[in-house]
Structure 1
Amino acid sequence: MQQLIKWIDFSVIGDDRGSLVALEANKNIPFDIKRVYYLFGMQSDLPRGFHAHKELIQVAVCVSGSCDILMDNGKDKGVVKLNSPSQGLVIDVMQWHEMSNFSDDCVLMVIASDLYDESDYIRNYDDFLREVNANV
């Protein structure tokens, strides 16, 4: 079973003018980048996510503000706070995740290993547990 929480610390280049983080496929992002999307304008009391992916790998970066992400591999669970644009959270295959507690200024960017494919989603938690346990 994969590690529950995997962080990527990005190198920050900066001076008096500000800071810069470069994200590069197969360097500090551990896959070919096929899709990037971001969420903003979320309400703190309306969680999102509630799914896992069969094959997709993602890296979530809170480029502004903060949010919490529940990570669940079917055996272990943990909640992490994303609040730094210089750190990414790897959301691996078969990891149930739920995002919540969004700050008003939260902008959550997600870098994905493939294009959107609805058939890759597992949206029912009981189905997720069955599939995880079938592969043990």
Structure 2
Amino acid sequence: MKDFNYSRIEDCKLISFDKNHRIKGNITAVNSGEEIPFEIKRVYYLYDIPGGEARGGHAHKNLKQLIIAGSGSFELILDDGFNSKKIRLSQPYEGILIPPGIWRELTSFSSGSICLVLASEIYLEEDYIRDYENFKNKKRKNSSNS
């Protein structure tokens, strides 16, 4: 997986997991280091998000993430400092793999939605870039130096 300086939108991958259908309900398993290319060190989820609210609004310097719509749906806006794309997540057996150096925003949460995040690192505030202009400047400066 690419690092902050070289990651681009194309490096964000939709991953489909096996959906094991059962009469009593479906099950999907995600194994650290197998279906996703990193060891899971942190799991968190967003829920009860009021209508019209957005989450995210940051990039990471080193952290890798897999974002899944555990329930309901939401839009994920991904930006590499040069290009952006919007993806709607609505299936609990699909996730978006996001390398470091990608700005992300989560919007348009459906009622009752749950956003599940599997992360490669524990929470470290110094890994976050929370100012979009600083993010763009850093990405563009690093791009011109390569």
CA distance in 1, matches of 2:66, 2:136: 22
Which residue is equivalent to 1:24? Answer: 31
- Match runs of 1:38-49 below 5 Å: 38-49=45-56
Which residue is equivalent to 1:120? Answer: 127
Is 1:60 equivalent to 2:55 in the alignment? no
- Match runs of 1:67-106 below 5 Å: 67-106=74-113
Gaps of 5+ in 1: none
Gaps of 5+ in 2: 1-5
Q: Size of the alignment, in residue pairs?
A: 136
Offset from partner CA, 1:31-66 (integer Å, 9 cap, x none): 000000000000120111110000000000001000
Structure number with higher strand proportion: 1
CA RMSD of aligned residues (A): 1.0
TM-score, normalization by structure 1: 0.96
Structure 1 vs Structure 2: percent identity of aligned residues? 35
Task: Please report how far the alpha carbon of residue 3 of structure 1 lies from its aligned counterpart in structure 2 after TM superposition.
Answer: 4.3
Which amino acid in 2 is paired with 1:2?
Answer: S
Which residue is equivalent to 1:8? Answer: 15
Which amino acid in 1 is paired with 2:74?
Answer: C
Which amino acid in 1 is paired with 2:53?
Answer: L
